[in-house]
């Protein structure tokens, strides 16, 4: 996110952070703006819910509803004055339409006064927008939910607080969030697709892109039906789950510092596996051919079932394979990290798993 956007967000949030969401006095603005394919619609909002949908039309249709976040016992005159002080600015230039709610510049003292009055003077603006085919959408929001669906132009989302729901988007480029849940379904892009969050839950279903990047600090990350040649997923805290096909020439890196990782792929899928952890375990129902390496300490040999074999490196010079063990237990390298390399089937895609303290599970062909 831009520094300018985050600075404005932090200041305005002081005035709206403690307010509720009760209904109250409202004021509505409706506009219709002609737009051609290739145009760009940008919406910047401080507080309020946003819904944007694609439509088979030649015009952009905008409905903006101003409301007091928690009107309390204020008079009609006071409520009207508060709504009037928030102006919705619409700028049109060269096929671009930019919409932004302009709040009065009252300074920090004035905003804190609103806050201590219970947020009664805080104003939110809710938007419902439809855009023509081929129009790009860029949204910046501080507080409120964001829903975008059926848009075929390039789309990007930045939010500070609130859930984001995205569906049926043909060119989703980027999502950046601080707090809230992210749900993607049936989205794609011809270029890279990235999602970043600080906390919440990230769910991606039916995502298509050459490369998918997901980064989080504290979040549950769930990917299903993802079609990509390169997938990079990393979170500091929280579980990671991937359920989908692997491209034979693809590379898939899943990392959780403190959290489990589970990978489920279709029956008959071949891949090269590299896994490492400081204290977590690795289990799988797949037949894995171990490759020679210092961390495992065994030469490449016949395939072994990973859920019934232990690599015993008590004596690093003479490692042995012992049957009837529920998990793979691996040796340590010089850095004290446990590592394993091997291949499933004929190999192909490269699957790299990494945790510090979480357990890892690889399932081929459904639940074991």
Looking at residue 366, its pLDDT comes to 65
d(CA 29, CA 6) in angstroms, rounded, equals 27
Looking at residue 329, its pLDDT comes to 46
pLDDT bucket at 73, cuts 50 / 70 / 90: low
H or E stretch covering 22? none
Are 59 and 35 spatial neighbours (Cβ–Cβ below 8 Å)? yes
Looking at residue 72, its pLDDT comes to 61
Looking at residue 93, its pLDDT comes to 93
User: Which of 175, 157, 143 lies closest to 8, judged by CA?
Assistant: 143
H or E stretch covering 340? strand 338-344
Share of the chain above pLDDT 70, in %: 74
Q: Is the pLDDT of residue 112 over 60?
A: no
Most confident of the ranges 5-9, 82-86, 110-114, 126-130: 126-130
Looking at residue 317, its pLDDT comes to 44
Looking at residue 81, its pLDDT comes to 81
d(CA 327, CA 306) in angstroms, rounded, equals 7
* Model pLDDT for residues 141-170, shown as the tens digit of each residue: 999 999 999 999 999 999 999 999 999 999
DSSP 203-272: EEEEEE-SEEEEEEEEEEEEEES-B-SEEEEEEEES-EEEES---TT-EEEEEEEES-EEEEE-TT--EE
pLDDT bucket at 328, cuts 50 / 70 / 90: low
Higher pLDDT, 73 or 359: 359
User: Which of 28-42, 71-85, 284-298 shows the lowest mean pLDDT across its residues?
Assistant: 284-298
pLDDT bucket at 221, cuts 50 / 70 / 90: very high
* Model pLDDT for residues 249-267, shown as the tens digit of each residue: 999 999 999 999 999 999 9
Q: Is the pLDDT of residue 271 over 90?
A: yes
Q: What is the mean pLDDT of the chain?
A: 80
Measure Cα distances from 144 to 17, 140, 147 in Å.
11, 11, 10
Q: Is the pLDDT of residue 292 over 60?
A: no
Looking at residue 122, its pLDDT comes to 81
Q: Is the pLDDT of residue 33 over 60?
A: yes
Q: Is the pLDDT of residue 95 over 80?
A: yes
Looking at residue 334, its pLDDT comes to 47
Average pLDDT over residues 204-218: 97
User: Which of 128, 126, 119, 115 lies closest to 45, judged by CA?
Assistant: 126
Are 32 and 83 spatial neighbours (Cβ–Cβ below 8 Å)? no
Domain ranges of the chain: 241-364
pLDDT bucket at 85, cuts 50 / 70 / 90: confident
Q: Is the pLDDT of residue 225 over 50?
A: yes
Are 52 and 136 spatial neighbours (Cβ–Cβ below 8 Å)? no
Looking at residue 307, its pLDDT comes to 40
Q: Is the pLDDT of residue 63 over 80?
A: yes
- Enter the pTM of the model: 0.80
Strands 304-305, 287-290: pairing is antiparallel
pLDDT bucket at 304, cuts 50 / 70 / 90: very low
H or E stretch covering 82? helix 76-84
User: Which of 7-21, 90-104, 108-122, 221-235 shows the lowest mean pLDDT across its residues?
Assistant: 7-21
Looking at residue 278, its pLDDT comes to 82
User: Which of 3-7, 82-86, 261-265 shows the lowest mean pLDDT across its residues?
Assistant: 3-7
């Amino acid at each position: 996110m831009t520094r300018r956007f985050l600075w404005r967000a932090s200041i305005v949030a002081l005035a709206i952070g403690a307010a509720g969401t009760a209904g109250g006095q409202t004021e509505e603005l409706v506009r219709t703006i002609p737009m051609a394919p290739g145009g760009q619609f940008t919406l910047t909002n401080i507080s309020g819910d946003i819904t944007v949908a694609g439509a088979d039309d030649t015009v952009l249709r905008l409905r903006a509803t101003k409301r007091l976040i928690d009107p309390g016992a204020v008079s009609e005159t006071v409520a009207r004055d508060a709504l009037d002080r928030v102006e919705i600015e619409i700028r049109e230039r060269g096929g671009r339409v930019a919409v932004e709610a302009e709040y009065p510049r009252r300074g920090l003292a004035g905003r804190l006064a609103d806050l201590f009055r219970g947020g009664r003077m805080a104003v939110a603006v809710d938007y419902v927008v439809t855009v023509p085919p081929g129009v790009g959408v860029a949204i910046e929001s501080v507080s409120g939910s964001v829903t975008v669906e059926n848009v075929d132009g390039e789309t990007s989302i930045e939010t500070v607080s609130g859930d984001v729901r995205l569906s049926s988007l043909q060119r989703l480029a980027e999502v950046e969030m601080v707090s809230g849940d992210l749900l993607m379904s049936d989205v794609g892009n011809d270029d890279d697709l990235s999602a970043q969050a600080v906390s919440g839950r990230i769910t991606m279903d039916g995502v298509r892109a050459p490369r998918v990047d997901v980064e989080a600090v504290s979040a549950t990350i769930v990917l299903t039906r993802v079609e990509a040649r390169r997938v990079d997923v990393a979170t500091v805290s929280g579980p990671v789950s991937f359920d989908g096909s692997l491209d034979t020439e693809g590379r898939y890196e899943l990392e959780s510092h403190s959290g489990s990782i589970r990978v489920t792929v279709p029956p008959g899928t071949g891949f090269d596996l590299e896994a490492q952890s400081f204290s977590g375990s690795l289990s799988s129902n797949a037949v894995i051919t171990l490759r020679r390496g210092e961390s495992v300490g065994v030469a490449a040999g016949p395939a072994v079932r990973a859920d019934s074999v232990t690599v015993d490196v008590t004596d690093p010079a003479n490692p042995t394979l012992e049957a009837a063990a529920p998990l793979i237990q691996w040796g340590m390298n010089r850095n004290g990290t446990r590592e394993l390399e091997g291949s499933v089937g004929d190999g192909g895609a490269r699957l790299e798993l990494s945790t510090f303290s979480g357990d890892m599970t690889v399932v081929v062909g459904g639940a074991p």
